[in-house]
Chains A and B, each alone.
Chain A
Amino acid sequence: MKRIWVIFQKEMVDNLRDYRSWTTGLFWAMFGPLMLGGMILLLGNTIRDNVEEALVLPVLGAENAPSLIAFLEQQDVIIEPAPADPEAAVIAGDINVALIIPADYGADFSAGQTAKVQLVFDSTRQSAMVDITRAQNLLEGYGKYIGLLRLSLRGVSPEVVRVVQIEEVDTATPQSQALIFLSMLPYFIIFAIFNGASPVIIDATAGERERGSLEPLLINPLPRGWFAIGKMLSAMPFATINLILTLAGFAAIFRFLPIEELLGVQIGLDIGALTAIFFICLPIVFLACAIQTLIASFTKTTKEAGTYLPFIGLIPSLPGLALAFLPVKPDLWTMLIPTFGQQILINQFLRSEPIAEMNIVISAVLTILLSVIVTYIAVKLYEGERIVAG
């Protein structure tokens, strides 16, 4: 067993000197926090700007409907003359929305007929949605207001045309909207763990074969499987450091970005929650190192390994991305799937939901069990002849 330590030590020294590889790994630790921070900044600014600023509405033919314009201006809308071709301007993205009032509007309006106006917008443009909705609501509001006035003049109660009244009860708190962002956290964490281990593993397995040092190494008097174990162990510190750095990065972002100002919520990602997430993710470190050691040992060259491993990290982290849009309840079956259970647990921590301790234990045990199985396969692979031939 002492000789596994010899292998571990050598791989650590060797890999630490290969600073180009492990700094690449470190980049992935920073990737998640930077990405999330950037997204929060961008979206936070968009939300705030749109709500606080007055709606600027370019109008073509404002002179055709003076009372409508007066109504809009009363509602704090800034009326601007629209470009000659509003559709082209919307397509070009110069304006979000434009109102066209045709010349016959006045005649129809006076005759008590339905008068048409056109609202020009692009419904696929997410950043314009706030402006579009506000313009639509204002126009409908004006239509209802005039309609009610007309009914009253004819002696009809407005209640007659109001069959159903909708009272909106939205249970989403501002916090749960912001949590859509946080749901992506597990994805970034798992990705960082896998990518922290992969450069080290590639060098120790496929690199060893490529350099022609694998054969002399395997002639040394120790069970061949120990080499697989020693190499896998030597990747663990790198994966663990990446995990810590990623969590620290997220903590820094939540601490130093004015989240409350940007998203209108406070996020409770304190040291306690981070520590808990760290321990929940530790079994994933084992799994990431085991799977990647196995896969990379099959490959002939570092280049080949370099094309496979990024996908290996992507597969277990993808459910985390999906969780941002499809919430899953922390049922028992989810805990039985390694990495998936942890992602749900992390989400629960972020939402400050009550967590069943049993779920933590089950997900950890299952992940470690799978890691042990994968390690065993890697050991068997090293004991066979294929490892020499590649």
Chain B
Amino acid sequence: MIQVQGLSKSFGKVKAVQNVSFSASDGQITGLLGPNGAGKSTTLRMLYTLLRPDSGTAQVDGFDVRESPLEVQSRIGVLADARGLYPRLTSRENIRYFGRLHGLEGEPLERQIDSLLLLLDMQSIADRRTEGFSTGEKLKVSIARTLVHNPKNVLLDEPTNGLDVMSTRAMRQFILRLRGEGKCVLFTSHIMQEVAALCDQIIIISRGEVAANGSPDDLRKQTGRENLEDAFVAAIGSEEGLG
């Protein structure tokens, strides 16, 4: 459960995020949709405690990102835009490192790693060093380390960026699966079709502000457009950044 109220953040004179409010429920997929540079990633980065909000509040399962960042961090799994791995460590070691940083250890940790390796169909690369992995293989390791502590809330920043068609399909299946497990899934995308196909709730962000918020049906009603793409354009007020 994620609740955001009046969140703002500036970098110098640039107002990256202004007064953004929304909430994302458990067992639902919430999409942050917006053109490049609209403030989606900045919003997410404040949610996962990397940046401090200038004003407003953000809560994860009732814990404030500013007041109790450690509580928030242990309740979220984040697939950030930066997905660097340690090339000299194997997939398993990469995942284990993050598990141990979450305070897991011993038999429970190893079992969790094994089940993730199985789930993501990556046993064949489990004990290989990640140096030279393909984009898809690297992504699997990143996802596994994101979920190693079995977080209730999953934040994904542009999860299908740079993936081929098959990997993109697999990724979407995976997001649906997380919802099936009752998790609160929040992801950003600039691809309209992707958001439309997956999301229970869509938050359209433009120039750092929430331009529209609701289910796909709500959005069509709010903007008076039948087509979701037209609704998107109407919401952000221009055709810039349509993906």
The chain A residues found within 8 Å of chain B, CB to CB, are 3, 6-7, 10, 13-14, 17-18, 208, 211-223, 385, 388
A18 and B88 in contact, given A3-B103, A221-B74, A388-B51 (Cβ under 8 angstroms): yes
Beta-carbon nearest neighbor of A19 in chain B: B88
Give 1 or 0 for each of B42-56: 1 = CB within 8 Å of chain A CB. Answer: 000100111110000
Beta-carbon nearest neighbor of A387 in chain B: B50
Query: B120: CB under 8 A from chain A?
Result: no
The chain B residues found within 8 Å of chain A, CB to CB, are 45, 48-52, 69-71, 73-74, 76, 78, 80-89, 93, 97-98, 100-103, 142, 145-146
Contact B102 A221 (CB under 8 A): yes
A222 and B100 in contact, given A17-B88, A216-B82 (Cβ under 8 angstroms): no
How close is A330's CB to chain B, nearest CB, in angstroms? 45
How close is B23's CB to chain A, nearest CB, in angstroms? 21
CA A144 to CA B67, docked complex, whole Å: 94
A219 and B73 in contact, given A13-B89, A211-B87, A385-B52 (Cβ under 8 angstroms): yes
* 20 A-B pairs with C-beta separation under 8 A: A3-B103, A6-B97, A7-B101, A10-B89, A10-B97, A14-B86, A14-B88, A17-B88, A208-B84, A211-B86, A211-B87, A213-B84, A214-B82, A215-B50, A216-B82, A216-B98, A221-B70, A221-B71, A221-B102, A222-B70
How close is A211's CB to chain B, nearest CB, in angstroms? 4
CA A129 to CA B51, docked complex, whole Å: 68
Contact B83 A216 (CB under 8 A): yes
Q: B83 contacts which of A3, A212, A385 (Cβ < 8 Å)? A: A212
How close is A351's CB to chain B, nearest CB, in angstroms? 46
A215 and B82 in contact, given A221-B73, A222-B70 (Cβ under 8 angstroms): yes
Contact B101 A220 (CB under 8 A): yes
Contact A213 B49 (CB under 8 A): no
Q: Interface SS of chain A: helix, strand, loop or mixed? A: helix
A3 and B85 in contact, given A219-B49, A385-B51 (Cβ under 8 angstroms): no
Q: Which residues of B contact A385 (CB under 8 A)?
A: 50-52
Beta-carbon nearest neighbor of A3 in chain B: B101
Contact B88 A222 (CB under 8 A): no
How close is A76's CB to chain B, nearest CB, in angstroms? 67
Q: B89 contacts which of A14, A216, A223, A388 (Cβ < 8 Å)? A: A14
Beta-carbon nearest neighbor of A222 in chain B: B101
CA A214 to CA B93, docked complex, whole Å: 17
How close is B10's CB to chain A, nearest CB, in angstroms? 12
A213 and B82 in contact, given A13-B89, A220-B101 (Cβ under 8 angstroms): yes
Contact B50 A218 (CB under 8 A): yes
Q: A216 contacts which of B74, B84, B103 (Cβ < 8 Å)? A: B84
Q: Which residues of B contact A216 (CB under 8 A)?
A: 78, 80, 82-84, 98, 142, 145-146
Q: Which residues of A contact B146 (CB under 8 A)?
A: 216
CA A212 to CA B138, docked complex, whole Å: 12
How close is B143's CB to chain A, nearest CB, in angstroms? 11
CA A273 to CA B205, docked complex, whole Å: 69
Q: Which residues of A contact B71 (CB under 8 A)?
A: 221
Q: Which residues of A contact B51 (CB under 8 A)?
A: 385, 388
CA A212 to CA B139, docked complex, whole Å: 13
How close is B94's CB to chain A, nearest CB, in angstroms? 9
Give 19 A-B pairs besides A208-B84, A215-B80 with Cβ atoms closer than 8 angstroms.
Answer: A7-B101, A10-B93, A17-B88, A17-B89, A18-B88, A211-B87, A212-B83, A213-B86, A216-B78, A216-B80, A216-B83, A216-B145, A217-B101, A219-B76, A220-B73, A220-B102, A223-B70, A385-B51, A388-B50
CA A100 to CA B108, docked complex, whole Å: 94
Contact A212 B82 (CB under 8 A): yes
Q: Which residues of A contact B89 (CB under 8 A)?
A: 10, 13-14, 17
Q: Which residues of B contact A212 (CB under 8 A)?
A: 82-84
CA A18 to CA B84, docked complex, whole Å: 17
Q: Which residues of A contact B76 (CB under 8 A)?
A: 219
CA A220 to CA B77, docked complex, whole Å: 9
How close is B95's CB to chain A, nearest CB, in angstroms? 12
Q: Which residues of B contact A208 (CB under 8 A)?
A: 84
Q: Which residues of A contact B80 (CB under 8 A)?
A: 215-216, 219
Q: Which residues of A contact B82 (CB under 8 A)?
A: 212-216
How close is B66's CB to chain A, nearest CB, in angstroms? 13
CA A13 to CA B93, docked complex, whole Å: 10
Beta-carbon nearest neighbor of B51 in chain A: A385
How close is A247's CB to chain B, nearest CB, in angstroms? 30
CA A222 to CA B74, docked complex, whole Å: 9
The listed residue with most A CB atoms (<10 A of its CB), out of B45, B49, B97, is: B97
How close is A18's CB to chain B, nearest CB, in angstroms? 6
CA A388 to CA B87, docked complex, whole Å: 20
CA A9 to CA B78, docked complex, whole Å: 23
How close is A382's CB to chain B, nearest CB, in angstroms? 12
Q: Which residues of A contact B49 (CB under 8 A)?
A: 219
A219 and B78 in contact, given A13-B89, A18-B88, A212-B84 (Cβ under 8 angstroms): yes
CA A41 to CA B162, docked complex, whole Å: 61
CA A208 to CA B103, docked complex, whole Å: 22
How close is B164's CB to chain A, nearest CB, in angstroms? 20
Q: Which residues of A contact B73 (CB under 8 A)?
A: 219-221
CA A219 to CA B73, docked complex, whole Å: 6
How close is A112's CB to chain B, nearest CB, in angstroms? 88
Contact B85 A211 (CB under 8 A): yes
